[in-house]
Structure formats: C-alpha cells, structure tokens
Structure 1
Amino acid sequence: MTPSFLPDVYQVTPNPSEPPEFEPFLSQLCATLNSGIKLVQLRAKQTPLHERIIVARKAVRLCHDHGAMMILNGIVDDALQVGCDGVHLVTNAMMQLSARPTTSILVSAACHSAEHVAHADRLGLDFVTLSPVLHTLTHPESTPIGWERFAQIVAGARIPVFALGGMTPDMLDTAKRRGAHGIAAIRATWRTDSVV
C-alpha cells in the first residue's frame, strides 16, 4: 500500500468491554466511523481470545460497512481468521522476525526507537506507529521522545510512520511537518457517544 492510499488519522480503539455482545463498544466505534475515521486498529489485548474473535468479526464488518480498514492488534492468523485488512504487531513480536510474516494483508508494528523503525523498514512492513511522542495518559510511565527526536527517526524511514502518544486532531499538521504520515490516537479521536 502506498502512503497516498493510507488515511492520515489512525484510530486505535480502547479495549472493548461488555462481553459477550460488546454493544456499547460497537456503538462507540460506529460513532467514531461516522466522524470520518477510515483506519482503525482493534486493540483488545485484555479480552480473552474467544471474545476477541467475536468482537473482531463484528468490528471488521462495521468498519467495512463504513468504507474503513481494520487492523487487528495481535497475530497474523487471528487477523486472517476474522477477515481484517491487516495485523498490528507488538514491538517484541516484530523484532523477532527476520522476514515479513504475510503478504496477504497489511502489516504494521509498534515502534519506540530508531532501531525498531529500521527493522520494520527491512521487513517491508506497510506502516508503523512511533511512540510515545508526547506524554500520554494511556502509558504515563513512558518517557516521551519529543518532536525533535521523532523527526530524526522518521527522516531515515522509507515506510509511513504515524505519531502516537498525546496526539490530538489539531496536531496533524505539526506531525506532518516533522515527517509523519499522520497521527494515531486512542482517546482523542474515539467517540464516546453512541449510535442507536
């Protein structure tokens, strides 16, 4: 996928709750998609596998109904099983790879350093997130890399990089000026209102 077809705002979902139907979560996802989001990462690490598959199937259908792509944070087999457009790898999983894990779907990864981004480049991944750029309530213990270091790391990247960590929609232009393809966010772009 070339950057021109990749949206510049990447929604990372909060962890779904309310199993087994996940209606409040899916309603909020629908509201988020209605706001114009076209790239979603379902992040359900705290959800048991069986329930994660259930919510992923429902979420991918909802995303596709809205013309959006859905990436599953997890493993390739699960993403393929539920019909996702891609898989998002955690840093440790990505760093253990010596080759791209699949060409059937998009592959992205979480990066936190120049070494991580360089490895993703070598693997030929489609895009990555680089975080945390700024202080974030999601990971308050993490030290932000800041915009200057972000720009230095991104300058050497051949693949699209999304700035993650403390991002808000009004930071999109700032991120692009620093070399980002766009921004990724959890809370700032997630709609907590529901669509009935």
Structure 2
Amino acid sequence: MHVMAGVLLDARGRVLLAQRPPGKHLAGLWEFPGGKLDAGEIPAAGLVRELREELGIEAEICDPVIRVPWHYGDRSLLLDAWTVRHWHGEPMSLEGQALQWCDPAGIDPAILSPADRPILRALQLPARYPITPAEVPPEAFEAWRHRLVEAIEHGLHLALLRFPLWAPERVRELAAALLPVARARGAHMLLSGDVAGALELGSGVGVQLKAFQLSSLEERPLPLSQLVGASCHDEIELAQASRFADFATLSPVSATATHPGVVPLGWPTFQSMLEAASVPVYALGGMTEADTQVARRAGGQGVAGIRGFW
C-alpha cells in the first residue's frame, strides 16, 4: 500500500500534525496528513488530492523528505513523505481529526505513529554528520573542547565523538562539558558504542552503535529522547537499524584513505540499498560537504565524514 504524507511547513518552520480519530488503527497517535494512493495515481497528484480531501487546501508539492517501508503485523505500506511549503486556503479538519502546528525540534516521537517517526527524525537531523578524527591524542582534550563549542555555536547540530585513543571516561567528560551549549543550541553529541555513557549523561547525548552491537540487539538501547545511530555496511545491517535506531550511516560509498583495500559501494548501490531502509541514512566513506546534494538525490539524509568536515 503506497501512502503519501505531506509535511506542511509554515513561515515559522512549524509542521502540521493530525491525530488519528477514534475507531481507526493507532487511534490517538499523531501523524503527518495524507493518505493512500488510488490505483494508477501519480504520487504528487495523490498527495494534492488527499490534502484537499483531508484539510481543504490546494497544495504545491515541493521536495521528497523520506520513503519509509513499514510493516504493521501482516500489513505492509510505503510511507512517502514530501514537503509542502505553499498552499491555498487554511488547513482545517474535514475528517474529524484534531490538528496542531508544532516545532519539529520539540515534538516527542512517542506521540507519533511508528511509521511517522522516521519522517520526524529526517526533519530533525541535519544534512551533515561530522565524525572526530581517530588520531586525536588524549592531551588534545581542551583543544577539542574549544573547537566543538565553537562549532556548535556556529551551527553544528550533530557530531560523533569518536576518540579511540581516549579512555571512555574521558570521552564522557568531554560530552558532559559540551552539554550546556549543546542543549542551548539543540545540538546532539553521540558517543561511539558507549550506551552506558549515553544513559548516564542523558538528553543531548546519544550513541552510534557499531555493527557488532547492532547485530545483537533485541530492543532499543536508549529512550526516544536520545538519538541512536547505527553503523551499517549492507542490507542486513540496515534492516536491523530500521528496527532499533533513529538513523544509520552506510559505508564506504566512495574510496577512503583509511580503508584502501575495501571496494566502495558507489552511488547506484547506495541508492538501491536505501529502498528497504526505514530510517534516514547518511553516506559515509570518502565524503565531503560537496557530496551532500548527491547523497540527497540518491535518497539519503546527507553525508557523514571525518577529514572533509573539520
């Protein structure tokens, strides 16, 4: 079942949510407005029709956000979300559903239907995901604290604190030192594989799971208020990430100096592998900021990287 979802964005950057009415599947949970395509209907035309029927507006469809394959028991759907920045008329409830305008950064994922949560994450996450260099020595703690504070103050919203030469406690100490400015600016710092550290530090600190950690999971390792990323290299790992994580990195997309003997996936394979992923995915491996739009056109959230980002 192909279902269209409209991410209506007003002039203040708020999005419109609709509550599923009593008697419907997942009643009481909130979702992005839209509905099922008719047989043979073009997706953009179907979304315009659904928004007309549900909200009484004539919408101008803009850019794709994310496509979310989802399974509810024996029911399968493809939730196809697109941004809508311009429309004629005032959105109103024509099907008995409650409506509310919300700042995406302040929406609790728990209030949304499970299939709509990846759409929210795609809105909340930036297009760039910098990873700290592996060769940074422990004595560079203060230099990197200053560097990261400055980066957050200049718009950095997401970063992986990956310092393999440091003791885990020292990385936690750095994350704790960054928390005041990170929380004030709505930024998120992720620890590399350190679930216990993320739980200890709380909101504003998440975890990037390594592939071996991902394969052994039976439940989400952190509450929904803390981000969980997953390092993936194939379809099996992406499927596991779709169950337990908020987003994933997929690598290596291009050749990298750190793994010279590994054959890169390339953009066509990256794009095809994303078709089964139910979370936002960053391209990793040989990426620079200049690759952001290429990744977006391939269906990715954006790019992650080390050398090209600091």
TM-score bracket relative to the smaller structure: 0.7 to 0.9
Give ranges in structure 1 of 5+ residues lacking alignment: 191-196
Structure 2 distance, partners of 1:89, 1:186, is 17
Structure 2 distance, partners of 1:6, 1:65, is 16
Alignment of 1:65-84 (within 5 A): 65-83=184-202, 84=204
- State the AA in 2 paired with 1:118: A
Q: Give percent identity, aligned residues only.
A: 36
What is the match of residue 247 of structure 2? 127
**CA RMSD after TM alignment:** 2.0
Q: Tell me if structure 2 keeps the 8 A contact 1:134–1:165.
A: yes
Alignment of 1:107-126 (within 5 A): 107-123=228-244, 125-126=245-246
Pairs aligned (count) = 188
How much does 1:71 deviate?
Answer: 1.3
- State the AA in 2 paired with 1:161: V
What is the match of residue 144 of structure 2? 25
Deviation string 1:56-106 (CA, Å, 9 cap, x unpaired) is 222334433543211111222111223343111000001111222222522
Structure 1 window deviating more from structure 2 (4-13 vs 48-57): it is 48-57
What is the TM-score normalised by the length of structure 1? 0.86
Q: Tell me if structure 2 keeps the 8 A contact 1:18–1:24.
A: no
- State the AA in 2 paired with 1:106: L
1:106 matched to 2:202? no
What is the match of residue 9 of structure 1? 128
Structure 1 window deviating more from structure 2 (164-173 vs 9-18): it is 9-18
What is the match of residue 159 of structure 2? 40
1:96 matched to 2:203? no
1:142 matched to 2:262? yes
1:183 matched to 2:303? yes
Q: Tell me if structure 1 keeps the 8 A contact 2:168–2:194.
A: no
Runs of 4+ in 1 over 6 A off after TM superposition: none
How much does 1:186 deviate?
Answer: 1.1
How much does 1:175 deviate?
Answer: 0.4
Structure 2 distance, partners of 1:160, 1:168, is 18
1:50 matched to 2:169? yes
What is the TM-score normalised by the length of structure 2? 0.56
How much does 1:27 deviate?
Answer: 2.5
Structure number with larger C-alpha Rg = 2
Please identify which structure carries the higher strand content.
2
Counterpart of 1:133 in 2: which secondary structure?
coil
Q: 1:22 to 1:65 in 2, by over 3 A?
A: farther
Structure 2 distance, partners of 1:65, 1:141, is 42
What is the match of residue 63 of structure 2? none
Structure 2 distance, partners of 1:151, 1:174, is 10
Structure 2 distance, partners of 1:59, 1:140, is 34
